[in-house]
Amino acid sequence: MNDLPPWHYPRWIAHRGAGKLAPENTLAAFRLGAEHGYRMFECDAKLSQDGVVFLMHDATLARTTGMPGIGGDQPWAALSQLDAGGWHSRRYAGEPLPTLAALARFCLANDYLLNIEIKPTPGTDAETGAAVAREAARLWAGTAVPPLLSSFRPDALAAARDAVPALPRALLLDTPRSDWLGLARRLGSVAIVCNHALWDAQTVADARTAGFRQLSYTVNDDWAAQRLIDLGTDGIITDRVDLFSPAA
């Protein structure tokens, strides 16, 4: 059995800041998640046309800003003017898209931890992985607990590994694949983040024996959370910051 890597992260992680209670990947969402007691957050990071690392999940702008086009095709000067909150509710109208640097300032000032999902615009996997890793290393330089980088895109994780080997990485999986442990090992991962339905006693044991921490997304029901706790997994990413106490 391989030794598990040191783990300095809490079990409960707020998805995109505060799940669905505030506009995802905005500073308003991270503030709300913190108000519910969460000390660690998950976010999505991609590159603007001019190389600024900013927060957004989708490749296209339509769902969360109401604008046409692809986010990664726009310069930061244009992206920074968009309304990323009005789609959610009138309360958050005018909330801007944040840069990773802005979120880092918030986390570092309050001693919060972060899982940065590398979410490349299609066709930019390696470029985005390397840029996110370098920016994270710069922003968190000298801190005790660095952000955890994760991605569904192996090429993005490989580029992050090559750019900044010291940052911890996690392979994201949505569906089963036969080579999951070998792929995670080749990418130098310390953890595997699965769709929560993929974890059972055998897969948890296999990951643990191979030396990987086990995390799950997106867990929004009591029964699912309890099953993962009973399995002894290390991290639970949830939208339901109003339902689950991170102190549990």
Looking at the DSSP assignment, which residues form a beta bridge with residue 171? 151, 192
CA 214 remoteness from chain centre: 14
Q: Are 156 and 94 in contact (CB under 8 A)?
A: no
Distances (CA, A) of 90 to 83, 94, 102, 216: 11, 9, 23, 32
Q: What are the residue numbers of the active site?
A: 15, 57
d(CA 131, CA 101): 13
Residue written as tokens 């590398």? 118
**Angle (deg, nearest 10), helices 125-139 and 154-163:** 40
